[in-house]
Amino acid sequence: MNQKAYTGGCACGAVRYEISGEPIFQNECQCRDCQKKSGTGHGSYLAFARSGVKHRGHVTLWDMVADNGKVKTRAFCPTCGSPVFLTFPANSGVFVVHAGSLDDPGRYRPQVVTYAVRGHAWDFLDPALPKVDRMPAM
The tens digit of pLDDT for each residue in 96-128 reads 999 999 999 999 999 999 999 999 999 999 999
DSSP assignment of the chain: -PPPPEEEE-SSSSSEEEE-S--SEEEEE-SHHHHHHHTSS-EEEEEEEGGGEEEES--EEEEEE-TTS-EEEEEE-TTT--EEEEE-TT-TTEEEEEGGGBSSGGG----EEESGGG--TTS---TTS-B-SSPPP-
User: What is the mean predicted confidence (pLDDT) over 15-29?
Assistant: 96
Domain of residue 55 covers 6-118
In a domain, 90, yes or no: yes
In this structure, what CATH number is given to the domain that contains residue 61?
A: 3.90.1590.10
With cut-offs at 50, 70 and 90, classify the pLDDT of residue 74: very high
In a domain, 32, yes or no: yes
Contact residues for 73 (Cβ-Cβ < 8 A; gap 6+):
61, 62, 63, 64, 86, 87, 88, 89
Residue 24 has pLDDT above 70, yes or no: yes
Residue 138 has pLDDT above 80, yes or no: no
Residue 19 pLDDT: 97
Q: What is the pTM of this model?
A: 0.90
Residue 1 pLDDT: 41
Number of structural domains found in the chain: 1
In a domain, 133, yes or no: no
In a domain, 130, yes or no: no
- Distance, CA of 35 to CA of 3 (rounded, Å): 32
In a domain, 137, yes or no: no
Residue 20 pLDDT: 94
Residue 112 pLDDT: 95
In a domain, 31, yes or no: yes
In a domain, 95, yes or no: yes
Strand 112-114 to 25-29 pairing: parallel
Q: How confident is the prediction for the chain on average, in pLDDT? A: 92
Percent of the chain's residues with pLDDT above 70: 96
User: What is the mean predicted confidence (pLDDT) over 42-71?
Assistant: 91
For residue 107, the one-letter residue type is R
